[in-house]
Amino acid sequence: MQRYSPERVRQMRRTIRAQLMETIFDDFDGTLMELPDDARALKYAKMAENPFRFFRGSAYLFYFDVSHLPFPYHTPREKPTWIQGDLHFENFGAFQARDGRIVYDINDFDEGYMGSYLYDLLRMSVSIALVCETPEFDGKQTEESIRSYLKAYYKQIRRFSSRKDDPTSLSFTEENTSGPIRKLLRKVNKKRKTDFLDGITEQTRHARRFSPSSEIVPLESDESGRLQEVWPDYLYSLDEESKREEAFYAIKDIAVKHSSGTASIGLDRYYVLIEGHRDPEGADDIVLEAKEVRAPVPAYFLPDRELFWSRYAHHGERVTATQRAMHHEADPFLGFFTLDDRCFYVRERSPYKKRVKASRILTLEDMCGTVNQMGRITAKIHARADNELQNGIIDYHAEDEIASAMGGDPDKFADTISLWAMGYAAQVHQDYELFAEWVRKRFS
C-alpha cells in the first residue's frame, strides 16, 4: 500500500492547477481572442513582471474561480447591478470631466456587464491586498486597508439607499478628497492642457502631426483610409446634447498606440488627432483614443442577460453606455464604430490622465485614506448606473438591493470579504509562480 506523502499531494495540486491555467489561457487568449503567439508573448511578459500585473491580466482566471464559490452577500440573481467588471487599484485616476473640472474616478469600462455588485468588491479587495505588498505591510495592516475600502463602500451605499446622498451628483475633486488623491488632483490641476499634446505631436510646415516613437507609430495608408470611411458612424453615435459641428471632428492624423494596458495587449488601439476649434497652430487639437473591445470577461461566467445584450450587442456601444451610466460628467467624445467586423469605442485621451502610484503610498494612514475614497467611488458607480438606463433593463434602485444584501453588520461584512481576499491573494502568488514557469517554457 502506498503511504500518504504530503509532498506528493502538494505536487499533484500544483500539476492540476497548472493544467487548468494553461487550458484557460489557451481558450481565452488563443481561441477566443485569437491572439498570435507573438502578441501572447508580449502580454505574458508584462504579466510576468509581478503578481499584481499577473492579476490584472488574468481576469478570466479570477472569474472562473469566484463564480463557482457560494458567497454570502450576493444580490438576487434577478436583480443584478451594472458592474465595472475588472475593478482594481490602477483603474482609478484623475481626468477632466465634461464641465472642465479635474475629478478622480474610475477610468476603465471595457468589462462592463450585469452581475452581482460583489464581484467588483472581491476583485478590488484582492488588488488592495497585492498593492499592500509594495510598502511591505504586514497581515494586520493589509487587512485594515481592505476593511477601510469595504466599510467605506458599505457606508456610502447606505447613504444612497437612505437618500442622504445623491449618486447622480456626487463627484470627487480636490475640494472633497484628502491624502494622496488630493495631492494628485492638486498636481494635475496645475498642468497645462497642451502639455500632453506637445509631448506626442509636432507642428510640421503644414499641420500638427503625431511624433513617431516606439509607442506611437504612423498608420498604414490603407488602414487609415478604412478608419476614415467609418468615421461618420462614430459621429452618428455621439451624444446629441454635446455634439459639435462636423468640422470639429475632422481627422488630421492617425497613429497606432502600442504598450498600453495589460489585459488589452493584442487588441488594436489608435490615437486620432482631430481639428477642434481650428487654431492656426493646432494648439487646440484634441487626441481621441479608439480602442478595440471584445465581449466582457464576466459574461463568460455570470448569468446570461438577454435583455442587456438585446440593447448592447455592439461592444463599443456597451462600453460607452457603461461609462455614461457611471460617470456624473461623462466624456462628450464617447462613441463607437465598427471596423473590419471589429468593435471599437472612442473617448478623449485626457491630457490630465494620472493615477495614484502604489509606490508613493508609504504609510497605513495614506493607504486607508486612499482606498476609503475608492470605496465611496465604487458605491457611486453602482448606485448611479441604474439612473441612466431608459431601456427597461433595470427597474429598481441598485443601492437598495445592495444595502439589503449586505445586511446590518458592516464589521461582519468587511471581515468576511477581507479574510477571503487575503487568502485569494496568496493563491495569486502561487498561480503567478506557475504562470511564470509556463511562460518561460512555452513563450521564451
Across 72-81, 151-160, 258-267, 348-357, least confident range = 258-267
pLDDT at 394 over 90: no
Query: Dihedrals φ, ψ of 134, to 5°?
Result: -65, -50
Distance CA 127, CA 108 (A): 15
Write the pLDDT tens digit of every residue in 95-112: 888 778 899 999 999 999
Do 42 and 265 touch, CB atoms closer than 8 A? yes
Q: Is 58 helix (H, G, I), strand (E, B) or coil?
A: coil
Write the pLDDT tens digit of every residue in 154-190: 999 999 999 999 998 999 999 999 999 999 999 998 8
Q: How would residue 328 be classed by pLDDT, with cut points 50, 70 and 90?
A: confident
List CB contacts of 244: < 8 A, sequence separation 6 or more.
none
pLDDT at 388 over 60: no
Q: How would residue 327 be classed by pLDDT, with cut points 50, 70 and 90?
A: confident
